Structure 1
Amino acid sequence: MGLARLAALHGVATSYAPSPDITVKVPDDTVVAVLAALGVDASTPEAVTDALTRAESTAAERLLPPTVVLWSAPEGERPEVPAALTGLPPGTTLQVEPEDGGTAPAPDPAPTTDPAAVVAHAPLGVHRLTARAPDGRTATVTLVVAPHQVPQPPPRTHGFLVQLYSLLSERSWGMGDLGDLAELAAWSGRHLGAGFVQINPLHAAVPGDPTDPSPYRPSSRRFPDPVHLRIEAVPEYAYVRGADREQLDALGEKAAALRASVLGEDALIDRDAVWALKLPALEILAAVPLGPGRRAEYCDFLAAQGQALEDHATWYALAEAHGPRWHDWPAGLRDPRSPETARARRDLLDRVDFHCRLAWLTDQQLAAASGAARDAGMAVGIVHDLAVGVHPGGADAWAQQDAFAAGMSVGAPPDAFNALGQDWGLPPWRPDVLAASGYAPYRGLLKGLLRNAGALRIDHVMGLFRLWWVPQGEQPTQGTYVRYDAEAMLAVLALEAHRAGAPVVGEDLGTVEPGVREALERRGVLGTSVLWFERDWEGPGQPPLPPGTWREDCVATATTHDLPSTAARLTGEHVELRHRLGLLTRPLAQEQAADRTEVGEWLTYLGRLGLLPGGPGDEEEEIRAVYRFLLRTPARMVGVWLPDAVGDRRPQNLPGTWDQYPNWRLPVADATGRPMTLEELAASPRLHRLMDVLRP
């Protein structure tokens, strides 16, 4: 009983419900390990008693939690006083120190004892709130004042969903880059009436041989990866002369050969080969002196990014010298604040500056892509993607060690689709450290991502509420849920999105605990609805959900990067692929029969709605019917998976595989598997026939 009470005080679950009628008890060893990762010793009954006494005493004596959230109210309504303020002892005085320094004027000459006065006068922002109780207790905590909702997209807009690396043009160096993103945005916005382009995370990767190609296991979520740079678009490119120009031109020729090979039959995107060409090219460009204006702009960027960028660049400089696993570095270098690291930073100053320069150049090209979308009239623009976590050996985990739970990994519990659960190999943030810091790491992350975003997609948005922690060395089945302060996480998200003017999309597919979607909807966060999953799960036979009953606040799409393309789904080729890779749990014939039944049911329904006038049998027309259906829903955003527009059969990622399938390495291809350039996509009659369905 004591362990359960102690766990509850720290947001650690001692049981969970994989379905409404089943409750699973979490092993005590797991609870003890998770508590240890939160700095709580529960290794013996005596330790549990001591920790419980301290925790309950601290909770009883505490005036305020480390972070207090105040939501503004819609126009014409009065904001609600936070429960943390209504529970203060009578006579407690409150004073707010706003973000810009100084002391916020109280409604009366003296600090106020009326919580409603704080609520009425505190501006949007992250402030310091001091409470002084009559018994002498004081508390200074973070006050997050957030808008009641994130910004909203227009009532209806459509756009492309694409993995940027897969979108090669005649000018990119073997994988899609930020120049290609700008071109896609400008073309689709101007000629197709698209309102957005949603892309994969562009987070900085962990260097390796080979580098992990997954964009969802990055070294850093705070800064983008310079592998996405368009070399020719760097202004200093025009001023390279002499032998450096010859070397740069030679690299460009090698890049053209690499691009041609990737666009050949059965070729794959090789990120490491691309970086092997871009790195020396960028080193040449970095040697070109910056003009006075460019130098001033760079210095402003350094000042604005501060310690976070210095840490990021230092990690990459140290990784070049000692390898990409910081846990294996010399002991002193494992601490970003140690004297040894400070000396190494000075010794490697040129490389640290080089990696800072790369972050700046990437930021500039991200801004250019965003500007291209805006200039093309896109209502939303570029939708950036936030991965759920970072690599344990990467830059963020090194620079923010105190904020991550040591010895823990994020994953998913066993469910109907995966009886063994999942371990994603990503260290989770500690909720206690986040709260004590006023969510500073989270705020910095969001601010950086939203800097050049028209909107933000959050992968596994349920992680704002709770995450499944798996102790190191244990199976995913031996994990448990750890809860986060969702009010604070959502408040920080709403505030930063408000400052950027960016809508937010949450990926809320799969198992979602009760109340999560309602909380997200209340704060204006859009969900994600995929055609094949939208059924009346309570109705007899679980028929397709009528389009008029879909939720409005969502991005509606036919598929995602983790699912079969629409052509593969309609033709059943996705079943054959999984059969070849040994991923089926039933005999092939059974899987094919079930798949044909599901697809036939959808096609019959589309025909009944008048969306498939010629009847089934024409693949292109069936795909157009799917998107006509999505337009019948009230969804605010309709996403077109770009490979769907040209009949691509291959998923970008096939969950459950590692080296059996080329995840995250496939260029966009046509129905025959032939890779297509951006220029060919823009001229594709098949693409234009599909997009004619979506034009206003």
Structure 2
Amino acid sequence: MTLARLAALHGVATAYEPSEGVTVQVPDATVVAVLAALDVDAGTPEAVAAALEAARRAGEARLLPPTLVHRQDGPARPPEGLPPGTRLRVTTERGERVDGPDWAGLPLGVHRIEAEAPDGRSDTGTLIVAPARVPRPEGRVFGLLAQLYSVLSARSWGMGDLGDLRELATWAGRTHGAGFVQVNPLHAGVPGAPSDPSPYRPSSRRFPDPVHLRIEDIPEYDFVGPEYRDRLDAILADAAELRERVLRKGALIDRDAVWELKRRALALVATVELGPGRRAEYRDFLAERGRALEDHATYQALAERHGHHWRSWPEELRDPLSAAAAVRADEELTARVDFHCRLAWLTDRQLAAASTAAREAGMAVGIVHDLAVGVHPDGSDTWALQDAFAAGMSVGAPPDAFNSRGQDWGLPPWRPDALAASGYAPYRGLLRELLRHAGALRIDHVMGLFRLWWVPEGREPTEGTYVRYDSEAMLAVLALEAHRAGAVVIGEDLGTVEPGVRDALARRGVFGTSVLWFERDWAGTGRPLAPEEWRTDCVATATTHDLPSTAARLSGDHVALRHRLGLLTGDLGHERARDAAEVGEWLTYLELLGLLPEGPGDEEAEVRAVHRFLLRTPAAMVGVWLPDAVGDRRPQNLPGTWDQYPNWRLPVAGPEGQPTTLEELAASPRAHRLFEVFAPLAGSRTAPPDARPV
């Protein structure tokens, strides 16, 4: 019981409930390992007793918790347990001082709080004053869900880029009245080749990846000197060939090949001196991003020389402070740090241009960016913020009905104690950076704001346990930063969700994610959930990047694909029959509602009927998976596979697998017919495209 008490003090679960009425005990060895990652020794009974005594003394010594939260719609009362006569003072982030316990008039922000007890004890902490809710969109909107790398245009260099995002948003907003475009995480990938193509295991979540740059849109591109023009022209020719291999010859998207070409081109562009106005803008960018950007650029430069596994670097380079001193003494490294800072600035400027284009196209929300649940263990963020991550731990998921072995995602978790001690500074900085050019932010596995499944290194996912975070503080920071950015927040809350989590998110105004095939009356008949019974505060979709496209779902192609790859757990005939019954039930229901006037049998009409159903729900946001617009049958990611399937490397394609360019998609009669479904939301903005067959 003493180990359980110690674990509870640090938010570490000693048991969990995978389903109602079922309790699973966590192995003591797991609890001990997790506590060790939090710098708590629980290896022996004596160590446990000593840790409990140390926690008791620390609690008595402190007057304030490291971080406090005050919601503007909540009671303005001081922390509980303060000795009578304790004096409080708040220094706001603007430097204003407020004495006394009345917080009712405090401005929104992250403030410093001081407490002084009559016995002479004093303490300080962080006070987060947050709005009650995050912003919400004005009226109902529909929009597109796209994996940016997969949306190639005639100007792409082998994968979709920020120029394509700007074009996509402008076309969707002006032609079809779309209110948003949601993209995959654009976080910086781990340097070096071969790289991980998944956008959900980045090197850094704080900074975008320059692989998304449209090189020709960089102002200095036009001024590259004649002595470099032949080299630049050769790179452009190689880029055109790379694009054609993907679009016309069936090649997969090769992120590494794209980056090699862009890296060479950017080196030539960087030879152009910035004009005085651009130089002033760049300097302001450096000043605003400060130490965080310097650390990221330093990691990038050191990774070029020593590889991205920073734990194998020379000892003096493993610490960011000593590494910074080493870089300053090395002229070549200093130049590379500036180069990577400049790439971050150029990418930021093109993100801003895409956001501006979306707003100018009439989009009520604009670009929806995606926040991955974690980072690569050997990436930029873990090097720069070592104290914030739990060493020897990985985030995953416990066993469930879909995966009896659990999951290990290979992502180191944040330490909840380190976050609280810093006033959630790493989390605040991350959100502020992502929201800078976002109309909304999607948070992958939003349940991680409440708890995460930690798996000790070397153990199976079944031997993990939950570690709890201060959800009030996490949500307060989220609400504050979203309010400052005027951005909507969308939580990916699919799968197993702890009771109370969805209600807590809804109270804060965080939208959920509702996928048609999962929305059933699970507590009653098990039949498809009536459209009027769907929740309002959500993004309603037919599918996601981890699920089959709508055409594949309707046709049963996804079952055949899983069978070919050996992923089916049951008999093929049984799985096909079960899937056909589920699809048939939905199609019958769509007919009953009058949403499929053409009748079953016409796949394109069935796809439109599915989206008519989504439109009939009260969902505030309705998302259309972009590949559904042209009948793509392939998932972008097939969970449970690695080299068996080309995850994250497929361009958007038509029903026969022929890649479809952005220009062809914009002229597609099939896409136009699907978007006509949303004319009631688009209003007068919908106009026919320059249609031609695709």
TM-score by length of 2: 0.97
Query: How far apart in 2 are the matches of 1:678 and 1:368?
Result: 18
Which secondary structure does the structure 1 equivalent of 2:320 belong to? coil
Is 2:326 the counterpart of 1:343? yes
Shift of the alpha carbon at 1:275?
Answer: 0.6
Is 2:262 the counterpart of 1:278? yes
Please name the residue that 1:319 is paired with.
Answer: 303
Query: How far apart in 1 are the matches of 2:121 and 2:533?
Result: 53
Is 2:1 the counterpart of 1:6? no
Please name the residue that 2:227 is paired with.
Answer: 243
Q: For the Cα contact (< 8 Å) 1:314–1:345, is it kept in 2?
A: no
Please name the residue that 2:313 is paired with.
Answer: 329
Q: For the Cα contact (< 8 Å) 1:562–1:651, is it kept in 2?
A: yes
Shift of the alpha carbon at 1:341?
Answer: 4.5
Out of 602, 607, 629, the position equivalent to 1:623 is: 607
Please name the residue that 2:689 is paired with.
Answer: none
Shift of the alpha carbon at 1:102?
Answer: 4.2
Which secondary structure does the structure 2 equivalent of 1:473 belong to? coil
Query: How far apart in 2 are the matches of 1:618 and 1:349?
Result: 61
Query: How far apart in 2 are the matches of 1:563 and 1:243?
Result: 50
Shift of the alpha carbon at 1:345?
Answer: 4.4
Query: How far apart in 1 are the matches of 2:170 and 2:650?
Result: 24
The correspondence of residues 365-404 of structure 1 with structure 2, limited to 5 A, is 365-404=350-389
Please name the residue that 1:80 is paired with.
Answer: 75
Q: For the Cα contact (< 8 Å) 2:203–2:375, is it kept in 1?
A: yes
One-letter amino acid of the counterpart of residue 317, structure 1: A
Q: Which runs of 5+ in 2 are unaligned?
A: 681-694
Please name the residue that 1:30 is paired with.
Answer: 30
How many residues in Structure 1 have an aligned counterpart in Structure 2? 678
Shift of the alpha carbon at 1:266?
Answer: 2.9
Is 2:97 the counterpart of 1:97? no
Is 2:517 the counterpart of 1:522? no
Query: How far apart in 2 are the matches of 1:342 and 1:388?
Result: 32
Q: For the Cα contact (< 8 Å) 1:332–1:341, is it kept in 2?
A: no
Query: How far apart in 2 are the matches of 1:420 and 1:135?
Result: 55
Please name the residue that 2:619 is paired with.
Answer: 635
Shift of the alpha carbon at 1:574?
Answer: 0.1
Out of 587, 592, 608, the position equivalent to 2:576 is: 592
State the Cα deviation string for residues 355-404 of structure 1 (Å, max 9, x = none): 00000000000000000001001000000000000000000000000000
Out of 552, 558, 564, the position equivalent to 1:568 is: 552
Which secondary structure does the structure 1 equivalent of 2:248 belong to? coil
Query: How far apart in 1 are the matches of 2:343 and 2:493?
Result: 34
One-letter amino acid of the counterpart of residue 457, structure 1: R
Query: How far apart in 2 are the matches of 1:343 and 1:529?
Result: 50
Which secondary structure does the structure 1 equivalent of 2:190 belong to? coil
Is 2:93 the counterpart of 1:137? no
Please name the residue that 2:423 is paired with.
Answer: 438
Shift of the alpha carbon at 1:344?
Answer: 2.8
- Cα distance, 1:253–1:235 mapped onto 2, change above 3 Å: same
State the Cα deviation string for residues 642-694 of structure 1 (Å, max 9, x = none): 00010000000000000000000000000110001000000000000000001
Please name the residue that 1:107 is paired with.
Answer: none
Which secondary structure does the structure 2 equivalent of 1:312 belong to? helix
Q: For the Cα contact (< 8 Å) 1:467–1:481, is it kept in 2?
A: yes
Please name the residue that 1:448 is paired with.
Answer: 433
Query: How far apart in 2 are the matches of 1:206 and 1:141?
Result: 35
Please name the residue that 1:428 is paired with.
Answer: 413
Is 2:208 the counterpart of 1:214? no
Query: How far apart in 2 are the matches of 1:452 and 1:240?
Result: 29
Is 2:237 the counterpart of 1:253? yes
Query: How far apart in 2 are the matches of 1:341 and 1:694?
Result: 53
Query: How far apart in 2 are the matches of 1:162 and 1:661?
Result: 19
Please name the residue that 2:17 is paired with.
Answer: 17
Q: For the Cα contact (< 8 Å) 1:71–1:147, is it kept in 2?
A: yes
Shift of the alpha carbon at 1:207?
Answer: 1.7
TM-score by length of 1: 0.97
Which secondary structure does the structure 2 equivalent of 1:23 belong to? strand
Query: How far apart in 1 are the matches of 2:282 and 2:95?
Result: 27
Q: Which runs of 5+ in 1 are unaligned?
A: 74-78, 105-110
State the Cα deviation string for residues 108-161 of structure 1 (Å, max 9, x = none): xxx32xx3x1x2121100000111122222111000000000011123100000
Which secondary structure does the structure 1 equivalent of 2:68 belong to? strand
User: Percent of aligned positions with the same letter in both sequences?
Assistant: 73
Between 584-593 and 345-354, report the one with greater CA deviation.
345-354
Query: How far apart in 1 are the matches of 2:407 and 2:549?
Result: 24
One-letter amino acid of the counterpart of residue 81, structure 1: A
Out of 506, 512, 519, the position equivalent to 2:491 is: 506
Shift of the alpha carbon at 1:92?
Answer: 1.4
One-letter amino acid of the counterpart of residue 344, structure 1: V
Shift of the alpha carbon at 1:58?
Answer: 1.7
Please name the residue that 2:632 is paired with.
Answer: 648
Shift of the alpha carbon at 1:265?
Answer: 4.2
Query: How far apart in 2 are the matches of 1:589 and 1:524?
Result: 44
Query: How far apart in 1 are the matches of 2:277 and 2:249?
Result: 46
Please name the residue that 2:662 is paired with.
Answer: 678
Query: How far apart in 2 are the matches of 1:248 and 1:168?
Result: 21
Shift of the alpha carbon at 1:60?
Answer: 3.3
One-letter amino acid of the counterpart of residue 80, structure 1: P
Q: For the Cα contact (< 8 Å) 2:179–2:365, is it kept in 1?
A: yes
State the Cα deviation string for residues 77-131 of structure 1 (Å, max 9, x = none): xx3135x624322221111101022423xxxxxx32xx3x1x2121100000111
Q: For the Cα contact (< 8 Å) 1:154–1:636, is it kept in 2?
A: no
Q: For the Cα contact (< 8 Å) 1:409–1:428, is it kept in 2?
A: yes
Q: For the Cα contact (< 8 Å) 2:142–2:622, is it kept in 1?
A: yes
Query: How far apart in 1 are the matches of 2:119 and 2:591?
Result: 73
Is 2:481 the counterpart of 1:496? yes
One-letter amino acid of the counterpart of residue 281, structure 1: A
Between 489-498 and 88-97, report the one with greater CA deviation.
88-97
Out of 560, 564, 576, the position equivalent to 1:580 is: 564
Q: For the Cα contact (< 8 Å) 2:72–2:104, is it kept in 1?
A: no
One-letter amino acid of the counterpart of residue 123, structure 2: A
State the Cα deviation string for residues 253-287 of structure 1 (Å, max 9, x = none): 11011000001243210000101100010011111
One-letter amino acid of the counterpart of residue 461, structure 1: V
